[in-house]
Amino acid sequence: MDFQLPDYNLRMMLPEIFLFLWSVVVIMFDVITRRKKGDAVGYLTLAGLLICGALLATTGYGRGFGRMFFNEPMALFFKIIFLGAAFMAVGSSFGLMREKIVNHRGEYYGLILMSTLGMMFLASSQELLSLWIGLELTTIPLFILAAFYKDDKLSVEAGIKYFVYGAFSSALLVYGISFLYGLSVTTEIVPMKMNLAAMFIHYGSLGVVPMIAVIIIVAGLGFKISLPPFHQWAPDVYEGSPTPIAAFLSVGSKAAGLVAFAKIMINGLWAFWGAEHAPNDWGYMVGIMACAAMILGNVVAIRQTNIKRMLAYSSIAQAGYIMIGMVAVNEWGLESVSFYIFAYMFANMGAFAVVAVVEDKTGSCQLGTYRGLAQSSPAVSASLAIFLLSLAGIPPLAGFLAKYKVFAAAVSMASYNDAYTWLYWVAGVGLITAVFSLYYYANVIKQMYFSGTVSPYRLKPGVPAATVIAIGLIGVILFGLYPEPILKFVTDIPSAAGVIPR
Amino acid sequence: MEFPILSSLIFVPLLGMGVVMLLPKESHKAIRWTSTIISLFPMFVSFWLTWDYFFNFSHSAAMAYVEGPFNWIPSLNIQYYLGVDGISVPMLFLTGLLSTISLIASFGITNRVKEYFAFFLLLEAGMMGVFVALDFFLFYVFWEIMLVPMYFLIGVWGGPRKEYAAIKFFLYTLFGSIFMLVSILILYFTSEPHTLNMMTLIETSPALSHTLQMVCFIFFFIAFAIKVPVWPFHTWLPDAHVEAPTAVSVILAGVLLKMGTYAMLRISWPMFPEALRTLSFWIALLGVIAIIYGALVSMAQKDLKKLVAYSSVSHMGYCMLALAAVSSVTAIAGCMFQMISHGLITGALFLLVGVIYDRAHTREIAAFGGLGAKLPVYSGIMVFFSMAALGLPGMSGFISEFMIFVGAFSALNKVLVGISVLGVVLGAAYMLRMVQRVFLGEFDIARWGGLKDINIRELVTVVPLMLLTLFVGIYPKPLSILLNATLEHLVTLMAR
């Protein structure tokens, strides 16, 4: 037997290779300029992300490294989201760099790029081990970033907490993967599904092992997506870490978890024993977790007085909505997941950008600081109000269309497939908790607008932060009114992901 | 291409909002006049529309001035589709008129003027949109988009408990809307080919299974009943009305409540005739409860604005009673008459309560007395509208209530209708008691000696409403001609 080298096709990995080199460039630039040129490092990072986006556009679809690396529509779409989230996180970090992190800017930006690289690699991998490595590359820089305020107790606590939880969940994930490997003798996702199906047909049953694997993997990924009962790290970590990092965690890292989930659970495991038994494999479990996320996230968020903690619970709830789309595995399902996270990126990154601007000015994230802000800084307040209304799902903003798509996915699956009638209840829980969510989003608006006093703080976001807020606004409003191009793009995702049409 | 009349009703106020936002914050006068002048456009367009519809289209039930359907979001089958018929034209008229009147009535706002007028124009755009949209998604967008400016208008410029009232209104209506959303999705996925076009769905939906019809009907009913509001979903209304600034109360009572009944007639009534017939007794019962309950609670009120607010619950109860009498064109026409007449009368009552509140800074009924001697013009107008509200013949309220009773008596349970007639007596009781205690009796010269009578600007706001109340009351024929073809078509749809 002669060993054949796979077709590397490195052109497919051009954006990733570039991003890796650029992160080194950013760190080196900071060192060479003796850490004097703070803003320049940031702009360099932004430029790198833009160039990477351009490279991504030229790469197109195709395979690399044999079958390990595959650029398909979902990978491409999520890479855009990762780059967008990184861009917005970097853009809202400039204020922080002036005040708080003066000595390690290069590392800060470099680590964000590294983490983005991990996400992008993960989105393309078609094989469980490289997927796991991508996930590790995503989270390890984030452990450091969460603890970046070295002298701040909360930040260090956030870092440690995130590290312990993250390491544990990665271990779980790799343990689950080992079960799957043991059953199917391959780590490639699509052959794995075929092997499992063949074994199922041959033996008539696979026993309890696949179930254990599924539970462990869901637990491992549940940490990344912050689905209850694996969500407890989120509020503390968001509160302690630098605000742009919290934003990046809530969008980028969550999206990475979702891609991994879609790849393993939908491409790899969904209905390998036939569509008629489908919800038995992981549908019920994830459906219940989604309900728990929506109820818990939305109810606990009401009681928060720190806006970052509130947004943390809101992001737990949003993960629940996204998982509705994931559970409704039909042609609407993955589309809705993709569109949801896309719309969520603009609204959530925008909201966090405003929070960062407020924090830079006032040094506080308490809701009370927002009192009367509408009169001293009308533009920033209006932006935050629009972001929050989009998160709450008020039309015609993009967040509404995202929720509409998710619920539509659930209702369509429930009305076509008798095994999925329980999705009506999941959708019902989602809709009712969506009403709860309005309460705490509106509470921030109330603080900003309804108070008679004028806030003493006049917010003047710098150019990068203002750009980030503007991008968020354009995204939320434009893709609410004219989502057609994105919807067209996401329609390719389910078929490429191997979802069986109904 | 023809001039897009209906779109202009939506987009001119929206554009106006943009213009107002560009004006400097301090120039209150410019902001007030700009927004009022902008709102004249949709008002005159809606007048012209009523005129033109009356002469050219009122003979048939077909949609007029149709725009679209244009593809808006093709991958979700969402269309931009507008059109009007006999039930939406009067609503547009009311919206156009009351919006301008409310803007004029808002000249007294001195705090954060720019935001106020910008939100008001956004509100107008949303309301116009609801009455012209023929695509479910579009309808839902307008239905929801309106909540945002309303939330701000109550929450920023409202009374002492404004924050509570604003969020209560927002949450209540949103809670209703999610039920509507589920129904919309069910209808979408059960139709073949999938569509959100209301006109198509009206044709196809009676073919659905009985259970599905009932579910959709009840879900739509919850959404719309919260807006009307039907007892027991009415509790947001007194809070919102009492805390809202005068002009916003006018819009709430005059237009927003009508959206609920309008949506029933436009959507759920013709779509699910079978479910409607099954449930018509219960709908009538809810209507009767609202009539009696609203009237009794009004009688107990110490606050003028609260009294008017609860009288709205009672008056909208007549609409529900009429809507339950599905087989009778007279009753449904009575419902439309009641919607219009309630918009005119209650709108005016809120304006008048605002007038006295601006001067006396209290709305407590017991604080006044004998105002008739000091404020003759104001008292005259107020008594006029109180009479209109209690259904004095010669005014629009009488016509509508009479039509409702005549129509409902033949179509519904006679005992139920008999009980509801008591509402008229109770209505007279609370209105007359209020008139007696506020305008007659001893005048407290030490306290109210300095009160000034109604001024020209305030007269401009109420006199058109007076004239229309009289016009509809004395010569209701044009309105009934305008409605007739559409309502007859509706009744045949509901008899399927």
pLDDT at B73: 87
pLDDT tier at A500, thresholds 50, 70, 90: very low
Compute chain A's Rg from CA coordinates: 22
Taking each helix axis from N to C terminus, what angle separates B414-439 and B396-411, rounded to the nearest 10 degrees?
A: 160
Smallest CA–CA distance from B166 into chain A, residue: A446
Determine, for residues B171 and A435 on separate chains, whether the beta-carbon distance falls below 8 Å. yes
Res. A307: pLDDT tops 80: yes
Three-state SS at A188: strand
Res. A38: pLDDT tops 80: no
Residues B327 and A439: their CA atoms lie apart, in Å, by: 42
Using CB atoms, pick whichever of A411, A415, A439 lies closest to residue B167: A439
CB A94 within 8 A of CB A460: no
How many Cβ pairs closer than 8 A exist between chain A and B? 80
Smallest CA–CA distance from A382 into chain B, residue: B115
Determine, for residues A487 and B76 on separate chains, whether the beta-carbon distance falls below 8 Å. yes
Using CB atoms, pick whichever of B148, B185, B190 lies closest to residue A394: B148
Determine, for residues B75 and A487 on separate chains, whether the beta-carbon distance falls below 8 Å. yes
Determine, for residues B182 and A439 on separate chains, whether the beta-carbon distance falls below 8 Å. no
Q: What is the pLDDT of residues B186-222, one digit of tens each?
A: 899 888 888 888 888 888 888 888 888 899 999 999 9
Smallest CA–CA distance from A389 into chain B, residue: B148
Helix (H) or strand (E) holding B470: helix B456-474
pLDDT at A276: 57
- Our CA-based measurement puts residue B208 at a distance from the nearest CA of chain A, in whole angstroms, of 13
CB A338 within 8 A of CB A493: yes
Determine, for residues B76 and A449 on separate chains, whether the beta-carbon distance falls below 8 Å. no
Range with the lowest mean pLDDT among A340-349, A484-493, B272-281? A484-493
Using CB atoms, pick whichever of A416, A435, A487 lies closest to residue B174: A435
Q: Is A477 on the interface with B (CB under 8 A)?
A: no
Nearest Cα to Cα of residue A427 among A408, A399, A401: A408
pLDDT at A7: 75
pLDDT at B89: 92
Residues B439 and B431: their CA atoms lie apart, in Å, by: 12
pLDDT at B67: 87
Smallest CA–CA distance from A435 into chain B, residue: B175
Residues of B in contact with A489 (CB under 8 A): none
Residues of A in contact with B170 (CB under 8 A): 438, 442
pLDDT at A501: 38
Residues A112 and A45: their CA atoms lie apart, in Å, by: 9
Q: Is A484 on the interface with B (CB under 8 A)?
A: yes
Residues of B in contact with A483 (CB under 8 A): 73
Residues B187 and B204: their CA atoms lie apart, in Å, by: 10
Using CB atoms, pick whichever of A411, A431, A435 lies closest to residue B189: A411
Structure pTM?
Answer: 0.93
Residues of B in contact with A407 (CB under 8 A): 181-182, 185
- Our CA-based measurement puts residue B26 at a distance from the nearest CA of chain A, in whole angstroms, of 13
Residues of B in contact with A374 (CB under 8 A): 115
Separation in Å, CA A307 to CA A246, A498, B156, B337:
12, 40, 22, 49
Separation in Å, CA B71 to CA B67, B176, B395:
11, 28, 45
**φ, ψ (nearest 5 deg) of residue B67:** -120, 120
Residue B143 gets the label, from left (phi > 0), alpha (psi -120 to 50) or beta, of alpha
Q: What is the pLDDT of residues A280-298, one digit of tens each?
A: 678 888 899 999 999 999 9
- Our CA-based measurement puts residue A302 at a distance from the nearest CA of chain B, in whole angstroms, of 13
pLDDT at A493: 75
pLDDT at A502: 33
Q: Averaged in consecutive runs of 10 residues, what is the pLDDT profile of chain B (496 residues)? A: 84 92 89 91 92 88 85 88 90 93 89 90 93 92 92 89 90 91 90 87 86 91 90 88 90 91 91 88 91 91 90 91 87 91 92 88 84 85 90 88 88 85 89 88 79 85 92 90 89 86
Residues of B in contact with A449 (CB under 8 A): 152, 155-156
Tokens of B477: 């024929």
Count CB neighbours of A305 within 10 A.
11
Separation in Å, CA A271 to CA A211, A287, A413, B167, B415:
13, 16, 15, 45, 60
Residues A483 and A401: their CA atoms lie apart, in Å, by: 8
ipTM comes to 0.91
Residues 174-193 of B with CB under 8 A from A: 174-175, 178, 181-182, 185-186, 188-190
Within 8 A by CB and 6+ apart from B425, the residues are none
- Our CA-based measurement puts residue B189 at a distance from the nearest CA of chain A, in whole angstroms, of 6
Q: Is B266 on the interface with A (CB under 8 A)?
A: no
Res. A185: pLDDT tops 70: yes
Q: Is B157 on the interface with A (CB under 8 A)?
A: no
Q: Is B26 on the interface with A (CB under 8 A)?
A: no
Separation in Å, CA A76 to CA A15, A66, A83, A265, B106:
11, 18, 11, 19, 52
